[in-house]
Amino acid sequence: MGRRVDIGLPVSRIVSIVPSQTELLVDLGLEDKIVGVTRFCIHPKDLRSKTVNVGGTKQLHLDRIRALKPDLIIGNKEENERSDIEALETEFPVWMSDIVTVSDALEMIHQLGEITATQTKATAIIHQITTDFEELQQFAQQFPPKKVAYLIWKDPMMCAGRGTFIDEMLQLIQLENVLQKDRYPELHERVEEPEVILLSSEPYPFKEKHLAELQADFPLAKLLLVDGEIFSWYGSRLLHAKKGMMEILEAIHQS
């Protein structure tokens, strides 16, 4: 973002306004230093009961954050509103990530390890994710590529397009995105017919009942419900990606 962020060390009062990065902070051993999180920070389950709810990722309660007097706020360029960040950065150190690729995610983990003095744990997480993804790619290569649409919203029906972290994760396991537009375009009949449609558990909570509705519009496609966290949470949740994506690939390629 072209900013300089001065952070006083050691950090002792952290507000995290991105769920995947909140989970990462806990896995780095910083749970006792987290004083505020969003209502979407659901991992670990008991964290919200121990911290202050500072609102949603895009609807922050700035007064609550100010009252916490954090010495570090951790956000993300896509998930948080620029106006909120610009207001907060005039009063507190606000460190932002911008994640599109797996390499970006690993660099974010490395940098957070540095600024929170948890380099050893950060390095271990990076090593495990790197190893897992190498094995995952090898596993995926035994299957032929499939053309896929990844749904994130209903009414309107929206997908993850190019230039997103989700698209990067699809490519990792040889799933070719039929959406050519960037960001989050709508799914309609004019796109190339997908062989597979993945219905994510987030941000829209797709359920079994939605499979039949969509099957009528795309009768030739294979439809699957998938855990959105393993495709879009770019922190330590990536440690769960290998097992989950292997199961998805096996389900896609079942006859």
CATH number of 45's domain? 3.40.50.1980
Q: Classify residue 241: in a domain, yes or no.
A: yes
Q: Which domain, by its residues, includes 72?
A: 1-98
Looking at the structure, do residues 11 and 58 belong to the same domain, yes or no? yes
12 lies in the same domain as 92:
yes
Residue 126 lies in a domain: no
Q: Count of domains in the chain?
A: 2
Q: Say if 117 falls within a structural domain.
A: no
Look at residue 124 and tell me if it is in a domain. no
* Degrees to nearest 5, angle at CA 143 with 146 and 249: 70
In a domain, 111, yes or no: no
Digitized pLDDT (tens) for each residue of the chain, 255 residues in all: 788 899 988 999 999 999 999 999 999 999 999 999 999 999 999 999 999 999 999 999 999 999 999 999 999 999 999 999 999 999 999 999 999 999 999 999 999 999 999 999 999 999 999 999 999 999 999 999 999 999 999 999 999 999 999 999 999 999 999 998 999 998 875 677 899 999 999 999 999 999 988 898 889 999 999 999 999 999 999 999 999 999 999 999 986
- In this structure, are 63 and 141 located in the same domain? no
Asked if residue 34 is part of any domain, the answer here is yes
Do 141 and 241 lie in a common domain? yes
